[in-house]
C-alpha cells in the first residue's frame, strides 16, 4: 500500500502562473536589451512551451529561423540576462501563488510530509519565486530544490524527479508529483510517480491521460469551487483539493 510521505512540486504553472506574465515578458525584455527584433507574443509562447528550459527554447527558435544564429555562449548570456530581468519582475511581487498552493503546502508541512521542488527552471528564478511569492522560510522547509541544469535531460525526461527522490532518500511509491503541463506529467509518470495536474490557460488542452487527478486549480476552502477534468480514482467532495484527497490518490 502506498503512503503519502513526500510531495514534489513543479514550479512554473503549478506554484504560480509564471509563464505568460513572467518568463515570457522577461525573455522579450532580454531580446530588446540585446537589440534582437524577435518578440514572443502570448500565443506563440504557448507553442514554444513544449520546449522545456529557457536556453533550449531560444535555441529552438534559432533553429526554426525565427532568431539570428548565435553561439551557445551567446545563448547562455542572453538567457542569463533574461533570468536577471525575471528576478526583477518577481521581486516586484506581480506573480502571486495559484489558489490553494499555500494552503496545501502548509497542511503538508504540518502533517510532516517531506516537501521538495522538481523543476526545469533555473535555480536563480526558482529562488526569486520562493523568496517573493512564498517567503524565505520556505528555503528551509523544502528538503530539496531540484532545478534546471542539475540534470542533463529536462522534462519530459524523468531525471529531475529521480534526482530529487535520490537526494531525499524516498521511493516513487510514497511520492506524489504536482504538475501543470503535459511535459511535467510525462516526467512524473516516467519516474513512476502518481501525479495530480492543476491546469492553466496554456496547458488545459494538453494530454493528461493516465494522470491521477486533473483539476482547474487547487482552490480555496471559501472559494467558488474547482473544475474537475479527470478523476479516475473517483474522489468525492472535490470543492477544493485537500490532503485527504491527495492521500486517496496515493491509495492510502
Q: Write the interaction track for Mg ion spanning residues 181-210; mark x where CB under 5 A is met and - where it is not.
A: x--x--------------------------
Number of residue whose CB is nearest ligand XBP: 54
Closest CA to 194 of 205, 210, 181: 210
Backbone angles phi, psi at 195, to 5 degrees: -145, 130
Q: Taking CB under 6 A as the rule, does residue 120 contact ligand XBP?
A: yes
Number of residue whose CB is nearest Mg ion: 13
Q: Taking CB under 6 A as the rule, does residue 13 contact ligand XBP?
A: yes
- C-alpha 30/C-alpha 25 separation (Å) is 9
Measured from the Cβ of residue 173, the count of other Cβ atoms closer than 10 Å reads 14
Cβ(39)–Cβ(147) below 8 Å: no
Cβ(113)–Cβ(88) below 8 Å: no
Residue 124 C-beta: closest distance to ligand XBP, Å: 8
Residue 56 C-beta: closest distance to ligand XBP, Å: 7
Residue 180 C-beta: closest distance to Mg ion, Å: 4
- Could you say which residues in the range 4-63 bind Mg ion, by CB under 5 A? 10, 12-13
Peptide bond into 200 cis (omega under 30): no
Task: Select from Mg ion, ligand XBP, none the partner in contact with residue 119, using the beta carbon and a kind-dependent cut-off of 5 to 8 Å.
Answer: ligand XBP
Residue 164 C-beta: closest distance to ligand XBP, Å: 12
- C-alpha 168/C-alpha 5 separation (Å) is 11
Stretch of 39-47, 118-126, 136-144, 211-219 lying at the interface with ligand XBP (CB under 6 A): 118-126
Cβ(129)–Cβ(15) below 8 Å: yes
SS3 state at 161: helix
Nearer to ligand XBP, 3 or 94 (CB): 94
Backbone angles phi, psi at 50, to 5 degrees: -70, -15
Q: Taking CB under 6 A as the rule, does residue 155 contact ligand XBP?
A: yes
- C-alpha 17/C-alpha 12 separation (Å) is 6
Q: Taking CB under 5 A as the rule, does residue 180 contact Mg ion?
A: yes
Stretch of 163-171, 172-180, 209-217, 241-249 lying at the interface with Mg ion (CB under 5 A): 172-180
Cβ(161)–Cβ(8) below 8 Å: yes
SS3 state at 77: helix
Q: Taking CB under 6 A as the rule, does residue 157 contact ligand XBP?
A: no
The binding site for Mg ion (CB under 5 A) comprises: 10, 12-13, 180-181, 184
Contact footprint for ligand XBP (CB under 6 A) = 10-13, 19, 23, 52-54, 83, 119-122, 125, 155, 181, 184
Amino acid at each position: 500500500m502506498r503512503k503519502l510521505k513526500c510531495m514534489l512540486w513543479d514550479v512554473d504553472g503549478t506554484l504560480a502562473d509564471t509563464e505568460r506574465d513572467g518568463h515570457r515578458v522577461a525573455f522579450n525584455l532580454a531580446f530588446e536589451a540585446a537589440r534582437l527584433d524577435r518578440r514572443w507574443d502570448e500565443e506563440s509562447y504557448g507553442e514554444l512551451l513544449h520546449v522545456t528550459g529557457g536556453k533550449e527554447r531560444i535555441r529552438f527558435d534559432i533553429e526554426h529561423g525565427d532568431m539570428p544564429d548565435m553561439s551557445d555562449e551567446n545563448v547562455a548570456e542572453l538567457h542569463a540576462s533574461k533570468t536577471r530581468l525575471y528576478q526583477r519582475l518577481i521581486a516586484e511581487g506581480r506573480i502571486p501563488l495559484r489558489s490553494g498552493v499555500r494552503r496545501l503546502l502548509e497542511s503538508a508541512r504540518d502533517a510532516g510530509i517531506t516537501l521538495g521542488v522538481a523543476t526545469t527552471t533555473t535555480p536563480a528564478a526558482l529562488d526569486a519565486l520562493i523568496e517573493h511569492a512564498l517567503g524565505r522560510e520556505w528555503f528551509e522547509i523544502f528538503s530539496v530544490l531540484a532545478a534546471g541544469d542539475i540534470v542533463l535531460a529536462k522534462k519530459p525526461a524523468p531525471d529531475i524527479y529521480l534526482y530529487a527522490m535520490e537526494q531525499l532518500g524516498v521511493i516513487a511509491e510514497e511520492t506524489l508529483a504536482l504538475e501543470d503541463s503535459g511535459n511535467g506529467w510525462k516526467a512524473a509518470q516516467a519516474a513512476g510517480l502518481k501525479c495530480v495536474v492543476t491546469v492553466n490557460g496554456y496547458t488545459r488542452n494538453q494530454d493528461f491521460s493516465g494522470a491521477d487527478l486533473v483539476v482547474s486549480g487547487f482552490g480555496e476552502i471559501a472559494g467558488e469551487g474547482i473544475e474537475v477534468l479527470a478523476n479516475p480514482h473517483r474522489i468525492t467532495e472535490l470543492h477544493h483539493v485537500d490532503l485527504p484527497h491527495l492521500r486517496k490518490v496515493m491509495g492510502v
